[in-house]
Structure 1
Amino acid sequence: MSIIYDDLYRYTGTRQFTSLVRYILFTPGFRYTYFYRKVQSAKFFPTRFFWDVLRRQCMLRTGIQIPAQTKIDKGLRIVHFGHIVINPDTIIGKNFNIAQGVNIGNAEGRRQGTPIIGDNVYVAANAVIVGNVKIGNDVFIAPNAFVNIDIPDGCIALGNPAQIIQKEYASKKYIIYKI
Structure 2
Amino acid sequence: MNVADIGSSQATALPSLAVDVYGQERSLNLLQAIRLLRSHGGRYRAVALIRLAQHFDRPRRRRFRDWANRQLRRDFGCFVQPGAQIGPGLKLPHPSGIVIGTGARIGSNCTIYHQVTLGGARRGDFKANRYPSVGDDVVLYAGAKLLGGIRVGNHVEVGANAVVRCDVPDNSVAVGIPARIISRTATCYEQALQAYS
TM-score for the superposition, normalised by structure 2? 0.72
Aligned 1:1-179 pairs, distance under 5 A: 1-10=14-23, 24-25=37-38, 26-27=41-42, 30-42=44-56, 45-108=59-122, 113-167=130-184
Secondary structure of residue in 2 paired with 1:68: coil
Q: Which amino acid aligns with 1:84?
A: I
Q: Which amino acid aligns with 2:89?
A: G
Judged with a 3 Å threshold, the aligned counterparts in structure 2 of structure 1 residues 114 and 153 are, in CA distance, closer, same or farther, namely: same
Instruction: Check whether the contact 1:69–1:89 (CA below 8 A) recurs between aligned residues.
Output: yes
User: How far apart in 2 are the matches of 1:106 and 1:156?
Assistant: 22
TM-score for the superposition, normalised by structure 1? 0.78
1:14-58 CA-partner distances (Å, limit 9, x unpaired): 97x9xx888632336x21221221232238645442243033123
Corresponding residue for residue 174 of structure 1? none
Deviation at 1:162, TM superposition (A): 0.6
Instruction: Check whether the contact 2:156–2:171 (CA below 8 A) recurs between aligned residues.
Output: yes
Deviation at 1:93, TM superposition (A): 0.6
Secondary structure of residue in 2 paired with 1:164: strand
Question: Identity of counterpart residues, as a percentage?
Answer: 30
Deviation at 1:82, TM superposition (A): 1.1
Larger CA Rg, structure 1 vs 2: 2
Instruction: Check whether the contact 1:35–1:52 (CA below 8 A) recurs between aligned residues.
Output: no
User: How far apart in 2 are the matches of 1:43 and 1:55?
Assistant: 11
Kindly indicate which of the two structures has a greater share of residues assigned to strand.
Answer: 1
User: How far apart in 2 are the matches of 1:154 and 1:48?
Assistant: 39
Aligned length: 163
Whose relative contact order is higher, 1 or 2, with alpha carbons under 8 Å and at least 6 apart?
A: 1
* Runs of 4+ off more than 3 Å: 20-23, 42-48
Q: Which amino acid aligns with 2:164?
A: V
Corresponding residue for residue 176 of structure 1? none
User: How far apart in 2 are the matches of 1:23 and 1:49?
Assistant: 20
